[in-house]
């Protein structure tokens, strides 16, 4: 199993209290800590407005960060979980991704999804069509990106996008193309797109749902003649890790202290329960987390991307996870 870790960028209110002029330094420090600790990859979200409520806290744009992080790291791979297909024309996105793949020395991962955060769509003036349309756009967008990365001249006539004589130079350094992570678990449409195009899938679900989605994906693979085993199934985990159970409780309390002034007691407790206790939450000692993630590994998960809410302020948990959990499950 491989592991990536998120770089805090503000979307989850994880830069609160850090002056704006110091926030890039904080993000850069976490990214280099991820690299130094031995994670395979560093990740950012592709969002404009914070969650769980759109506040005035800064959120840094994903692809700008990709270029910046490429310049300040040398080994760790770089990804987005996940790029919203609706926010940029796929031909333009293919060009941006190819450029960053070259800048990074061939270290880019391409995470892509159909999009869901309606508040952002409305705020930025993007149409927010029904899911079937957004997933149709995703399918065409992925087809366009793959062709832009591998063909000299691209003509494309789809239901949503049209290209005439599109050029993409430089090509990505990676062959045959930048790895594609298709995020989302929609069983009728999204997982069919994944069966056709994904190198990696990403399900944000609990273990029972992961097993179910995997079965559905396998069925789509059979239908399109794809080897199910050629797709690396992944998921994301919110991690609160400490050497002792008392330390874990203290860390969760620090999250309460951080979120309570922003969202109040009821929403804060709901966030903690939903994100760190239930489903894919991973609050525990190293051994407890090894045991729980081991169940996911047995179910066929090949890659986990972990999030540490405190990372911009303290990388102790990020480093402890890399030191104790990663080698136990590698």
Q: What is the largest CA-CA distance in the chain?
A: 61
Q: Is the pLDDT of residue 308 over 80?
A: yes
Model confidence pLDDT, tens digit, residues 87-110: 999 999 999 999 999 999 999 999
Model confidence pLDDT, tens digit, residues 144-193: 999 999 999 999 999 999 999 999 999 999 999 999 999 999 999 999 99
Q: Are 295 and 252 in contact (CB under 8 A)?
A: no
Q: Are 31 and 78 in contact (CB under 8 A)?
A: no
Q: What is the dihedral of CA 191, 196, 201, 206, to 10 degrees?
A: 20
Model confidence pLDDT, tens digit, residues 109-134: 999 999 999 999 999 999 999 999 99
Report residue 126: phi and psi, to 5°: -90, 140
Looking at the DSSP bridge assignments, the partners of residue 84 are 113
pLDDT of residue 26: 99
Looking at the DSSP bridge assignments, the partners of residue 202 are 183, 234
Confidence of residue 86 (pLDDT cuts 50, 70, 90): very high
Provide Rg for the chain, Cα atoms.
19
pLDDT of residue 300: 98
Q: Is the pLDDT of residue 1 over 80?
A: yes
Check residues 281 and 44 and name the one with the higher pLDDT.
44
2-245+280-329, superfamily in CATH? Luciferase-like domain (3.20.20.30)
C-alpha dihedral sign at 229, 206, 217, 106: negative
Q: Tell me the H-state helices in the chain.
A: 20-37, 62-72, 90-103, 118-124, 131-150, 190-197, 207-224, 245-272, 286-298, 316-320, 326-329
Sketch the domain layout of the chain as residue ranges: 2-245+280-329
Model confidence pLDDT, tens digit, residues 231-242: 999 999 999 999
Mean of pLDDT over the chain: 97
CB atoms within 10 A of CB 230: 9
Task: Give the rounded percent of residues in the chain with a pLDDT score beyond 90.
Answer: 97
Looking at the DSSP bridge assignments, the partners of residue 163 are 156
5 in helix, strand or coil?
Answer: strand
Q: What is the mean pLDDT of the segment spanning 31-52?
A: 98
Looking at the DSSP bridge assignments, the partners of residue 241 are 284
């Amino acid at each position: 199993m491989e592991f990536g870790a998120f770089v805090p960028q503000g979307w989850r209110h994880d830069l609160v209290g850090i002056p704006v002029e110091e926030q890039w330094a904080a993000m850069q420090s976490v990214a280099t800590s991820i690299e130094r600790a031995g994670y395979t990859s560093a990740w950012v979200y592709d969002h404009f407005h914070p969650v769980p409520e759109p506040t005035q806290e800064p959120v840094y744009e994903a692809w700008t960060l990709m270029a910046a992080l490429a310049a300040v790291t040398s080994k760790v791979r770089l990804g987005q979980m996940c790029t919203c297909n609706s926010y940029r024309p796929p031909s333009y996105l293919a060009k941006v991704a190819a450029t960053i793949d070259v800048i990074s020395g061939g270290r880019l991962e391409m995470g892509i999804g159909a999009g869901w955060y309606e508040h952002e769509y409305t705020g930025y003036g993007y149409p927010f069509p029904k899911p079937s349309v957004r997933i149709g756009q995703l399918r065409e967008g992925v087809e366009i990106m793959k062709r832009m990365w591998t063909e000299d001249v691209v003509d494309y006539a789809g239901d949503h996008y049209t290209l005439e004589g599109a050029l993409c130079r430089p090509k990505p350094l990676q062959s045959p193309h930048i790895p594609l992570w298709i995020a989302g678990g929609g069983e009728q449409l999204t997982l069919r797109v994944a069966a056709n195009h994904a190198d990696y899938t990403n399900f944000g679900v609990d273990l029972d749902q992961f097993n179910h989605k995997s079965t559905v994906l396998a069925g789509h693979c059979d239908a399109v003649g794809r080897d199910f085993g050629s797709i690396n199934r992944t998921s994301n985990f919110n991690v609160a890790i400490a050497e002792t159970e008392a330390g874990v409780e203290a860390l969760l309390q620090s999250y309460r202290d951080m979120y309570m002034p922003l969202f109040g007691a009821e929403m804060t407790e709901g966030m903690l329960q939903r994100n760190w206790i239930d489903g894919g939450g991973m609050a525990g000692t190293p051994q407890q987390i090894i045991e729980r993630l081991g169940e996911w590994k047995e179910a066929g998960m090949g890659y986990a991307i972990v999030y540490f809410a405190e990372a911009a302020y303290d990388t102790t948990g990020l480093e402890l996870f890399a030191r104790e959990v990663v080698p136990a499950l590698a």
